[in-house]
């Protein structure tokens, strides 16, 4: 699998397409609901090569600098080449080491875009959003939420209680992980490192954090 981090950064920046995230009219991350402390330490996150130990950290390119703002309880993913495309996300916990990152897009018809990720220690894995067909099927099962189709027909959350939206996002994460498992696709993990350093074997602490993320993913999809 090719590097997830820079392509994800570019994809999120083009949220008008919205197929890379879940659109919502509801703010699921008001200040009181945001995580009070960072789930990940600020720093450079670089892609991990290998689905099992020994892992290699690909730190020579495509790392993503991430900072934390305690006052606003938000993360910012920085694009060193295009600072104007930096992305700020408010994060809420979904439980089971699963988190939702909400990006505000007030200039768009759908003002919030949400991505789901697993985080443990100083490593994380961004989960792919469901495709349109799967999203429609899952939306039909969450009858406490109201969904509306955008111009392309992709459903977005039009109304609903925050707790019900979080339940939906957790189900979407499980479905995404099942798809990866069925397709025998490795989970792309990023771990705290130093951007621009030579690629190197993961340290003991990095290996511990990487394996914790992989275990969390397995726990979410026991079958």
**pLDDT of the residue at 84:** 73
Stretch among 16-25, 111-120, 170-179 having the lowest mean pLDDT = 16-25
In 3-state terms the chain splits into helix, strand, coil percentages (rounded to 5) of 30, 30, 40
**pLDDT tens digits for 107-166?**
889 999 999 999 999 999 989 899 999 999 999 999 999 999 988 889 999 999 999 999
- How far apart CA 77 and CA 88 sit, in angstroms, is 6
pTM (2 d.p.): 0.90
Tell me the C-alpha distance between 175 and 50, whole Å: 23
The answer to whether the bond into 104 is cis (omega within 30° of 0) is: no
Collapsing DSSP to helix, strand or coil, 49 comes out as strand
159-196 core/surface letters (b: 16 or more CB in 10 A; e: else): ebeeebbbbbbbebbbbbbebbeeeeeebbbbbbbebe
CA angle 105, 80, 131 (to 5 degrees): 45
User: Which tens digits make up the pLDDT trace of 88-100?
Assistant: 999 999 999 999 9
């Amino acid at each position: 699998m090719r590097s997830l981090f820079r392509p994800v950064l570019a994809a999120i920046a083009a949220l008008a397409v919205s197929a890379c995230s879940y659109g919502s009219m509801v703010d699921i991350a008001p200040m009181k609901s945001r995580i009070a402390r960072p789930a990940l330490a600020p720093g450079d996150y670089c892609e991990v090569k290998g689905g099992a130990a020994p892992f290699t950290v690909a730190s020579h390119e495509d790392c993503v600098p991430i900072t934390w703002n305690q006052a606003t309880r938000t993360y910012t993913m920085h694009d060193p080449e295009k600072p104007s495309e930096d992305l700020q996300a408010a994060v809420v916990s979904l439980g089971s080491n699963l988190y939702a990152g909400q990006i505000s897009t007030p200039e768009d018809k759908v003002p919030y875009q949400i991505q789901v990720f697993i985080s443990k220690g100083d490593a994380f894995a961004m989960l792919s959003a469901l495709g349109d067909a799967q999203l429609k099927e899952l939306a039909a099962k969450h009858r406490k939420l109201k969904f509306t189709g955008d111009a392309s027909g992709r459903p977005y959350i039009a109304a609903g209680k925050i707790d019900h939206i979080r339940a939906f996002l957790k189900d979407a994460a499980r479905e995404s992980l099942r798809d990866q498992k069925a397709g025998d696709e490795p989970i792309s993990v990023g771990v705290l490192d130093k951007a621009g350093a030579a690629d190197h074997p993961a340290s003991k602490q990095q290996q511990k954090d990487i394996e914790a993320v992989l275990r969390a993913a397995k726990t979410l999809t026991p079958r």
